[in-house]
């Protein structure tokens, strides 16, 4: 297991992965049209949807101009200009299915990219198969997407939530070895339920003497008010609190728990805390452990590679702030789709058809903006990456949020192998894990 401080994570794990060259093919199609789905309104818009849209928009602009750093500097998708239509993910699963059908059947898009919520992904995955449309999920975390059914048209270009929670358990064991009991607060739907299940199962294997509380909290998603849950957690004897809260729920929890001294009473590990780190700034309490769903956002701010340096500088120049995890994750999905189009065109010797693009994306390995990505699970449709955690520490001299005790966990340490499900692997003691 790699143990690196913040300044020591530069370029970690980047060697040894083949970066796919992207030659310029002759475009037989002028435009590739994309539907890009993200929360553009509601409590998830600020922390997730808007940065996600910005990351996608920035990278699409660079792709169309041919200004992405090498080896991705060719224009377009296989030479065709990319045209994007942005769709609001808010409104619930029924609305998302309706929006998906509209994008495919009425607007005729070539591919759909995006989705933050696991509920959205679970709802649209079978529709994508029914309508036979390339769909690249950029963020959503539930492992059920590829563990409960094979997919031909659906891909996900980042690790699923099992990695978040196994890495969190490893981090607790490493950084807080004296913890003797733990509980959690997670949203009451697939994402929150799966996250708590995977964390508590991993803790059972890694820290068997630590006692799990029988009173974990599961408030409704987007509830907004957590006074009763904060009281219940404060009265619980558990020393450590795990949470996969995200978006507005995460920020509301932090702002409501801080005045009550909650973060002085408890050790806390927040699997998605890094996504809101820049928005909260000094209001994110010192001493809490945060992840960002992989090598993204504040956890890779000092990673000094040409792609990451370009990504951070261009994002700051364009939007006036550091890119959060969501910006990276949407940009990564766009980049993977470009690479697949270019690779398929090179193999075909002409502009590729939809099936050729899917075949090129299946099992793809590529260098993304901050780390290598391997489409290693789900018959080559589910990505794996390394994972990272660190502890929040306000940098008074710099006047900005920083991290200490950053640790990197290889993908093979925190994601299950291809021949088993997440639950089966964790319950078996994570055999073959390479940490």
DSSP assignments along 359-409, one per residue: HHHTT-EEE-SSSEEEEEEGGGTEEE--EEEEEEEEETTTTEEEEEEEEEE
Q: How far apart are CA 166 and CA 221, in angstroms?
A: 23
Q: Provide the edge-to-edge strand list for the sheet that holds 387-395.
A: 2-3, 400-409, 387-395, 289-291, 267-270, 240-243, 181-185, 211-212
Q: Provide the edge-to-edge strand list for the sheet that holds 81-88.
A: 81-88, 31-38, 111-114, 134-137, 154-156, 382-384, 372-377, 365-367
Quote the pTM value: 0.91
Would you tell me how many other CB atoms lie within 10 Å of the CB of residue 319?
16
Would you tell me how many other CB atoms lie within 10 Å of the CB of residue 4?
15
Longest dimension (CA), the chain: 66
Q: Where are the alpha helices (DSSP H) in 242-305?
A: 247-257, 262-265, 277-280
Residues 6 or more apart whose Cβ sits within 8 Å of residue 300: 9, 308, 328, 370, 371, 388
Alpha carbon 301 to its chain centroid, in Å, reads: 16
Would you tell me how many other CB atoms lie within 10 Å of the CB of residue 176?
17
Contact call for residues 306 and 299 (beta carbons, < 8 A): no
| Conformational region of residue 388, where left means phi above 0, alpha means psi within -120 to 50, and beta covers everything else | beta
Burial track 349-370 (b if 16+ CB lie within 10 A, e otherwise): eebbeeebbbbbbeebebbbbb
| pLDDT score recorded for residue 27 | 58
Contact call for residues 91 and 49 (beta carbons, < 8 A): no
Contact call for residues 47 and 248 (beta carbons, < 8 A): yes
| pLDDT score recorded for residue 222 | 86
Alpha carbon dihedral 74, 76, 79, 80, in 10-degree steps, equals -170
| pLDDT score recorded for residue 101 | 98
Alpha carbon dihedral 328, 334, 247, 151, in 10-degree steps, equals -120
Paired strand residues for 3? 407
- Positive or negative, the CA dihedral 427, 429, 432, 433 is positive
- 261, two tokens: 């001294």
Q: How far apart are CA 137 and CA 159, in angstroms?
A: 11
- 429, two tokens: 């003691």
Task: Identify the CA nearest to 416 among candidates 406, 430, 429.
Answer: 430
Q: Which residues of the chain have pLDDT under 50?
A: 1-22, 25
């Amino acid at each position: 297991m790699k143990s690196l401080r913040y300044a020591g994570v530069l370029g970690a794990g980047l060697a040894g992965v083949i970066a796919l060259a992207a030659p310029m093919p002759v475009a037989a199609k002028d435009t590739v049209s994309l539907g890009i789905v993200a929360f553009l309104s509601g409590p998830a818009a600020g922390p997730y949807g808007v940065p996600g849209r910005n990351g996608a928009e920035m990278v699409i602009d660079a792709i169309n101009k041919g200004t992405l750093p090498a080896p991705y500097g060719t224009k377009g998708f296989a030479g065709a200009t990319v045209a994007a239509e942005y769709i609001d993910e808010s409104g619930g699963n029924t609305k998302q299915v309706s929006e998906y059908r509209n994008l495919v059947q009425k607007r005729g898009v070539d591919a759909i990219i995006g989705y933050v919520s696991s509920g959205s992904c679970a709802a649209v995955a079978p529709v994508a198969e029914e309508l036979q449309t390339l769909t690249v999920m950029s963020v959503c975390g539930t492992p059920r997407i590829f563990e409960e059914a094979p997919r031909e048209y659906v891909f996900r270009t980042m690790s699923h939530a099992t990695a978040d929670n196994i890495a969190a358990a490893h981090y607790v064991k490493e950084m807080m070895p004296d913890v003797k009991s733990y509980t959690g607060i997670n949203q009451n739907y697939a994402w929150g339920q799966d996250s708590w299940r995977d964390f508590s199962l991993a803790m059972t294997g890694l820290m068997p003497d630590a006692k799990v509380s029988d009173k974990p909290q599961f408030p409704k998603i987007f509830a907004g008010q957590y006074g009763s849950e904060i009281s219940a957690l404060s009265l619980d004897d558990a020393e450590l609190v795990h949470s996969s809260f995200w978006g507005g729920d995460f920020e509301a929890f932090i702002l409501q728990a801080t005045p009550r001294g909650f973060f002085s009473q408890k050790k806390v590990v927040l699997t998605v805390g890094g996504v809101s780190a820049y928005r909260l700034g000094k209001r994110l309490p010192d001493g809490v452990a945060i992840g960002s769903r992989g090598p993204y956002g504040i956890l890779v701010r000092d990673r000094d590679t040409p792609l990451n340096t370009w990504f951070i500088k261009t994002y700051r120049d364009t939007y006036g702030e550091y890119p959060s995890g969501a910006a990276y994750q949407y940009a990564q999905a766009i980049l993977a789709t470009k690479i697949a189009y270019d690779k398929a065109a090179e193999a075909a010797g002409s502009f590729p058809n939809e099936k050729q693009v899917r075949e090129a994306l299946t099992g793809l390995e590529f260098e993304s903006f901050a780390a290598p990505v391997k489409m290693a699970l789900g018959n080559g449709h589910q990505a794996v990456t390394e994972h990272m955690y660190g502890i929040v520490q306000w940098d008074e001299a710099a006047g900005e949020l920083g991290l200490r005790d950053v640790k990197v966990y290889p993908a093979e340490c925190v994601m299950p192998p291809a021949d088993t499900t997440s639950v089966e692997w964790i319950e078996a003691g994570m055999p073959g894990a390479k940490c």
